[in-house]
A and B are shown apart, each in its own frame.
Chain A
Amino acid sequence: MLKSDLVNILVAKKGVTQKQAEATIEVIFGSMKDALVGDGKVGENIEIRGLGAFHVKHYGAYQGRNPKTGEPIAVRAKRGILFRAGKELKDRVNKPGPDGKVPPLNPNQQ
């Protein structure tokens, strides 16, 4: 599933134009990105009921090492995103099959 597939689904199911659907998808994920990035220093966490939560995690700078040469290198402080699936998504993704077990994914789905 790609952004373009989402656009097509909005067009097919809601009768909006291609342009409107594209704008909607861009605004949804654009506003989420903007919230996480924030002013460049402090970002906002996002919580979407049923889907999950995105947290901005701050990592401190540390002294790393080039694993090949052993040379010490300074690694800058940075920020990353942690995602935790919400209850509904967790349960739906992890639904047991008829045998009570959760089936592995098809190799082409991984």
Chain B
Amino acid sequence: MTKADIIESVYEKVGFSKKESAELVELVFDTLKETLERGDKVKISGFGNFQPRYKRARPGRNPQSGQPIEITARRVVKFVPSQVLKADLNEGFLPDGEKSAEDDDDGADDDEDDDD
């Protein structure tokens, strides 16, 4: 899904022209960016929260050369999905029918032995 699809939904469901729909969608996303830029959070009930976070400087490494470098202090955006979105994602979600604990659907290597 891209912005064009969201504009299309607004056009179909709210009844604005294509142009108006596009302007409204742009304004919403511009406002989100502006708010986060100021350092404020955005809370969309039923969808999730966008929160600016401050990360202190920390030591890191150039992964290519292995050389130690400082990762500078920075601000990042964290998205926390709402309980509603999480619940909707997982309601009745059973990939390929009932799967048991040893199945893994996307190759993450978390094989663990469970001997007691």
Q: Which residues from chain A sit less than 8 Å from chain B, CB to CB?
A: 1-3, 6, 9-10, 13-14, 16, 20, 23-25, 27-33, 35-37, 40-41, 43-52, 54, 56-63, 72, 74-81, 83, 85, 88-90, 92-95, 101-102, 104-106, 109-110
From A56, A58, A61, A94, give the contact of B76 (CB < 8 A): A94
Minimum CB–CB distance from B12 to chain A (whole Å) comes to 9
Residues of A within 8 A of B94 (CB): 76-77
Interface size on B, residues (CB 8 A): 70
- In the bound complex, do residue A36 and residue B89 qualify as a contact, i.e. CB atoms below 8 Å apart? yes
Most buried by A among B29, B45, B103: B29
CB distance from A105 to the nearest CB of B (A): 5
Main secondary structure of the interface of B (DSSP, over half): mixed
A29 to B79, CA, bound (A): 14
Q: Are A10 and B28 within 8 A (Cβ)?
A: yes
B15 smallest CB distance to A (angstroms): 8
Main SS of chain A's interface residues? Answer: mixed
From residue B19, how far is it (CB to closest CB) to chain A in Å? 11
Q: Establish whether residues A50 and B1, one from each chain, have CB atoms under 8 Å apart when the complex forms.
A: no
Which residues in chain B, 2-34, are within 8 Å of chain A measured between CB atoms?
Answer: 2-3, 5-6, 9-10, 13-14, 16, 20, 23-25, 27-29, 31-33
| Interfacial chain A residues near B5, Cβ < 8 Å | 31, 35
